[in-house]
Amino acid sequence: MAIIVLFTDFGPAGPYTGQMEAVLRQMAPMHPVINLLSNAPVANPRASSYLLAALRHSFPGNSIFLAVIDPGVGSERKAVVLHADGQYFVGPDNGLLNTVAAQSRQMQWFEIIWRPEQYSMSFHGRDLFAPISARLACNTADGLLKPFTRHDLDVWPEDLSEVIYFDHYGNAMTGLRYHEGLAGKSLTVNGIVMEQADTFSAVAEHQAFWYRNSSGLVEIAVNQGSAQHQLDLEVGVGVSFSQ
């Protein structure tokens, strides 16, 4: 049974997540809905794309990701579905799904050509993306999608040497996937050099370090503190490695 996974920048307050869930419950009542993330980088599909690409691996192959970070809602940007390595991703064609595509072995893009009789130009998440996600879960999306080919992903980096997200503790995730070639190297951010550690307890209190997080990304943290505040970080700040 397909799982529908919500990934948005809607925030914890307000009606928007609940309104999308209401559509999914009515149209696909047998399919579980998981609100994975509601505080993706606001109006920043580029940074959010690297977070989405990392978090997808916690879910089975038939999952459907309803992803809405959409500052251009109502514009000429396409509404699309990406089928990548067995999973579906539904959302705006503004870069949000590009990292998933760039990191996948097999993929196919589709434009959503279906439109409801009435829908809000400012809330495609509820009126367009949620119904399509429900129909994909129920295998009733035939005739609603048109395949197309992309030729612009060659310049889209598979990894991003920048801060992309802060969690509740102030830890800073980057868009870099960890690999063994980074082991033992020093990381520099905002002119501050720090070393790798496996756990928080391996360094002194209030000491900054970097590590491989549970999603496989390079993450910056401070033991018993907030890397975001102590290191004066923000989304988009670059990071670099040296021996």
Taking only the tens place, the pLDDT of each residue in 135-155 is 999 999 999 999 999 988 999
**pTM of the entire predicted model:** 0.97
Phi-psi region of 211 (alpha: psi -120 to 50; beta: other; left: phi over 0): beta
Please check whether residue 127 is in contact with residue 116, taking contact to mean a CB–CB distance below 8 angstroms. Answer: yes
Instruction: Say which CATH class 160-242 falls into.
Output: mainly beta
- Please state, as a whole number, how many other Cβ atoms lie within 10 Å of the Cβ of residue 195: 15
Is 185 exposed, middle or buried (CB count within 10 Å of its CB: 0-12, 13-18, 19+)?
Answer: middle
Q: Which residues of the chain have pLDDT under 50?
A: none
CA distance 52 to 48: 6
In the chain, domain spans: 4-155, 160-242
Contact assessment for residue 69 and residue 43, using Cβ atoms and an 8 Å cutoff: yes
Structure confidence at residue 30 (pLDDT): 97
Q: CB-based contacts of 233: which residues, under 8 Å, 6+ apart?
A: 163, 166, 172, 189, 190, 220, 227
**CATH numeric code, 4-155:** 3.40.50.10790
Cα distances (angstroms) measured from residue 28 to each of 32, 105, 123, 177: 9, 29, 20, 34
pLDDT for 243 equals 72
* Rg of the Cα atoms in the chain: 19
Q: Which long-range contacts (CB under 8 A, 24 or more apart) does 178-184 make?
A: 178/212, 178/216, 178/217, 178/218, 182/218, 182/241
Q: Summarize pLDDT for 5-15 with one digit per residue, the tens.
A: 999 999 999 99
Residue pLDDT, tens place only, 193-221? 999 999 999 999 999 999 999 999 999 99
Residues 199 and 173: their CA atoms lie apart, in Å, by 15
